[in-house]
Structures are given as structure tokens and as C-alpha cells.
Chain A
Amino acid sequence: MGLARRLQNHPRLLAVGYKANLWIAMKLKFAIRMVGEKRLARWLSAPEEFTKRRIFDCKMCGQCILHSTGMTCPMTCPKNLRNGPCGGVRPNGHCEVEPEMRCIWVEAFERSQMMTTYKDELHILQPPVDRQLEGSSAWVNLMTGKDRVTPAGWGDTPRAGG
């Protein structure tokens, strides 16, 4: 496991990074108006992909909920589950689909227990993924609010991602 991936086992540290990221993103909202969303996405998606792929094996779903899932990317689950583990987790805590891999939800649960701020966000009901956002920058979507748009029939809006 690379050094960057090992960072995942320090979710509290990552949560601090997340908070800083969120603060910067909110402060930079005005940049969207100045440079335009498309150009900003062009600038940001490469560094975002570079860092998040190395640390979280990010799949660029464009609507990041990492901090709610123990700083563990739910899209790395072979079934893309966003709300918790399926019933197929093996007795040793490994994945039903890939027996060599630990279930990412077992890891998410362990890591969320280590966290302080976002510990209980694991129990938030996550809305369906907007597949139109796949491949786009979650940082920009956070600034525009696109990552929190849910279908009209879904009801309430989830909290900010990042």
C-alpha cells in the first residue's frame, strides 16, 4: 500500500483537510462568476483527480460524500453502494465480489468510529447518484451546489460534500 493510501487510516487528519477544503471552496465561490464554471473545472479537475485518486482511489463521481463515510470512497465498493454494506460481506470482513479486498464499508465503519466531527454522518440517507456528474470535478460541483441537487421526488437536500 502506498504512502498516500495509508493516509486513509487517519480519518481525523483527513477530516481536517476536508474542512480546510470546504472553507476554501466556499471562499472561492466568487471565482466561478469571474472565470466561469467550465474554465474553473478545467483547472481544478486534474489536481483533484491527482490527489483524491492517490489517497482515496477516487472514481470521480462528481458528488463527493467522503466525510460522511469515514473518509472512505463509497464508489470503490464494487456495487457502488452509498448507504452501507450489502448482506454479502464475508465473515472475515472481506468483499463478496473481490475476496482479496476488505469490504470498504467495514473500513468506512471503523474509520468513522475514529472520527469526531462527522462520525454520525454515516447514518445519513444518501440520495441516488446523478450519473450526469460522473467524471466532473466534485470541488466545482460543491461550489455551484450541483452535487446537492436531488430529484424533485426525493425531497430533502443532503449536506455539502467535498
Chain B
Amino acid sequence: MLPPPKSDGRLEKVLRAGLFAVTAELNPPDSADPHHVFDAALVLSQVCDAINATDASGAHCHMSSVAICALLTHAGYSPVMQVSCRDRNRIAIQGDVLGAAAMGVHNILCLTGDDVTAGDQPGAKRVFDLDSIQLLRTIRTMRDEGCYMSGREITVRPRLFLGAASNPFAPPLDWRPHRMAKKIEAGADFFQSQYCFDVPQLESFMKRVCDLGLDEKAYFLVGVGPLRSERAAEFMRSNVPGVHIPDHVIERLRKTPKQHKRAEGKKICVEIIQQVREMAGVHGVHLMAYRQEELVAEIVEEAGLMVRRTAGGATPNGWRAGRRPARPGSHDARRHPDGND
């Protein structure tokens, strides 16, 4: 029998149903106007199952993930709240998690967080009271045991689908699948990976993940995103922690005439989605289109992921049940939605 769902959210429903999930990252505004969040969410919600609210990613200050989730849940969207260990200690984080669940957040992504030196305020104090694995275990305890880390009781437990990050492209490469196993042991239900530009490397990683049987224990969403130009790619490679872009991708963009660079970047992204979709152990994609949100819908459509999507998108009730016709040998045909736990 299928284990009972851990949350009431759409993302978990989609993944349990064996459908190919799409999540997208919302670029947090540097503004106090809620409409900047709503405008950005509207573009994404039509084409994805959950919207990620980032927690000062790259150690740059923006509107907080808790606040974005408050706005999004109020408007009826289904966010993934990102929680990083960089800025808050265990007391603050546990309080935020309870509050988020009360607001209607169903998914939480537990991250270590980029270091303060990656951002524009490198003099800030770094907290790192917990690491991402301890954070996962803490929130799982809150959900499953109904108590804080101290053992003190929580009267109504938060119902949450717990996520973790994975970077298959950073050393020590041999350890990465085992680290994923440790995160699953700590409570991860789904993974969202770092940007994937190197499909062969992801393939060898996923093979080891499947050999360890981890694809049956958690869902894996591959991080993808369009590159604007070779300069943007080189900037990302050297300034954004953990991003690995092979030379041939940059070379391909360099050879493209200037007016077609954006289209080429989008094309690369679509090709990667189509390749990873066929890969065993992959259950979805996570789109990160930094300052190019308008491309997300086009990418989802061109990658052929629009089939079951109707207006309403990432709203909790807007999801229309029904299977996308499975192609023979495709991922959906192979996988049965009882993989979790």
C-alpha cells in the first residue's frame, strides 16, 4: 500500500501520481510592493507545479522567503519555501517552519546556503548553527514526532513535503550519491539539483543513485535554466558557487550571432530537459531562469511539458488529475507512484 501523503500540496500529489513535475524559481523582488511578487508568480504559475521562494540566494538580500510565501499562499499559490542555515539559528528556523505551515506552505527546501562572502555584504556574520542535514532531521521530527528539537510538544503538527538540494557536479563526486542517501535518511522526500549543463555527468550520477536504490525513496528534480550569453555563463561559472558549465556549452553560445544568443541559450535548456526526462530516476525539472522569467513558459512549452497544464497552474486546486499519455519506455510508463518511502 502507498504510504500516506506527507503534505496536502500539489507538488507531492503530482510526483506521487508519477507525473513529470515542473517547479520554477521566483526571482525575489528588491521592492516593498507585493505586486512585484504577484506579477512574477503569475508568469510561472501557469506552467509549473510549485514556485520556489528563495532565501537570499547567493547571499544577496532580497524580499525574504517567508514573506514571499505569505503573499503567495494568500493569493492561492503553492510555494516551496527555501530555508538556508546561513542566516538563522535553530530557534528562528523552527519558528519559521511552524509559521509557514500555518500559512499553507506545503513544501520546504532545506539548504546549507551560500556563504556570506558570495554576496554583496561579505562582512555579515555567518550563522550555520545547523547544517542542511540536521535541518532536515529537525523539521522531520516536528512533522513526524510532533515536537521541537528540544522535545517540547507541538500541538498541531506541520504537514510538510521536505526537500533537499543536491549538486551532482561538485567534488567529491564519488561521495555525492552517498550524501543524497544521508539526506534521505535525515528526512528528504524530494531533491532539487543545482543547474545541470553536463548531461553525461548527471547520467553517471543518476546511475549510481539508482544502483543505491535512492530513486525509489525520494523524487529527483533536475535543475535547469537558460543562459543569456557566453559572458553570463562565464560569470555564473566563476561567481555563483557550485555551478558547473562545460566549455562546449560556452563555446556553442560564443559561436552564435549576438541577436540569437538568448534563443540559443533557451534551446540548450530545452534540449537538456528532453535528455534528462528520459533518464532513470529523474522525476521532474526545476527551472531557474534568473531575470528571464518570461522564458520559463516558452521553455516548458517547447520541451513538451504543457500537455496536462491548464489555466490555474500552481494553485492548489487548479490541478487537473489525469495521466499524460505515456510513451513506451518513457519515464512515466516505467515508474509507479509508490516510490516514496
Determine whether A103 belongs to the interface, using a CB cutoff of 8 Å to chain B: yes
Determine whether A133 belongs to the interface, using a CB cutoff of 8 Å to chain B: no
Q: Say whether B151 contacts A128, CB under 8 Å.
A: no
Q: Say whether A125 contacts B182, CB under 8 Å.
A: yes
Min distance, Cβ B97 to any Cβ of chain A, angstroms: 13
Min distance, Cβ A8 to any Cβ of chain B, angstroms: 17
Q: Say whether B172 contacts A128, CB under 8 Å.
A: no
Contacts of A86 in B (CB 8 A): 112, 132, 241-242
Contacts of B181 in A (CB 8 A): 123
Say whether, besides A96-B118, A125-B133, A105 and B242 are in contact (CB < 8 Å).
no
Contacts of A129 in B (CB 8 A): 129
Q: Say whether B131 contacts A79, CB under 8 Å.
A: yes
Q: Say whether A84 contacts B175, CB under 8 Å.
A: yes
Q: Say whether A151 contacts B149, CB under 8 Å.
A: yes
Q: Say whether B171 contacts A153, CB under 8 Å.
A: no
Q: Say whether B175 contacts A109, CB under 8 Å.
A: yes
Residue of B114, B118, B150, B178 near A151 (CB, 8 A) is B150
Q: Say whether B117 contacts A97, CB under 8 Å.
A: yes
Tally of A interface residues using CB under 8 Å: 35
Tally of B interface residues using CB under 8 Å: 44
Determine whether A115 belongs to the interface, using a CB cutoff of 8 Å to chain B: no
Determine whether B147 belongs to the interface, using a CB cutoff of 8 Å to chain A: yes
Q: Say whether A128 contacts B175, CB under 8 Å.
A: no
Q: Say whether A153 contacts B115, CB under 8 Å.
A: no
Min distance, Cβ A26 to any Cβ of chain B, angstroms: 28
Min distance, Cβ A93 to any Cβ of chain B, angstroms: 5
Say whether, besides A96-B115, A109-B172, A109-B174, A87 and B242 are in contact (CB < 8 Å).
yes
Q: Say whether A125 contacts B186, CB under 8 Å.
A: yes
Min distance, Cβ B172 to any Cβ of chain A, angstroms: 4
Q: Say whether A79 contacts B141, CB under 8 Å.
A: no
- Cα separation A87 to B172 with both chains bound (whole Å): 10
Determine whether B38 belongs to the interface, using a CB cutoff of 8 Å to chain A: no
Determine whether A17 belongs to the interface, using a CB cutoff of 8 Å to chain B: no
Q: Say whether B175 contacts A96, CB under 8 Å.
A: no
Q: Say whether A93 contacts B171, CB under 8 Å.
A: yes
Determine whether A152 belongs to the interface, using a CB cutoff of 8 Å to chain B: yes
Say whether, besides A87-B170, A151-B149, A153-B151, A128 and B134 are in contact (CB < 8 Å).
yes
Contacts of A97-111 to chain B: CB distance below 8 A: 97, 103, 105-106, 109-110
Contacts of B151 in A (CB 8 A): 151-153
- Cα separation A125 to B170 with both chains bound (whole Å): 21
Contacts of A89 in B (CB 8 A): 167, 170-172, 242
Residue of A97, A105, A125, A155 near B172 (CB, 8 A) is A105
Q: Mark B137-159, 1 if CB is under 8 A from A, else 0.
A: 11001000101111110000000
- Listed in ascending order, the chain B residues whose CB lies under 8 Å from chain A are 85-86, 90, 112, 114-115, 117-118, 126, 128-134, 137-138, 141, 145, 147-152, 165-167, 170-172, 174-175, 178-179, 181-182, 185-186, 194, 241-242, 244
Beyond the given pairs A109-B174, A151-B151, 9 more chain A to chain B contacts, judged by CB atoms under 8 angstroms and listed by A's residue number, are A85-B175, A86-B241, A87-B165, A89-B170, A90-B171, A106-B171, A110-B172, A125-B182, A127-B134
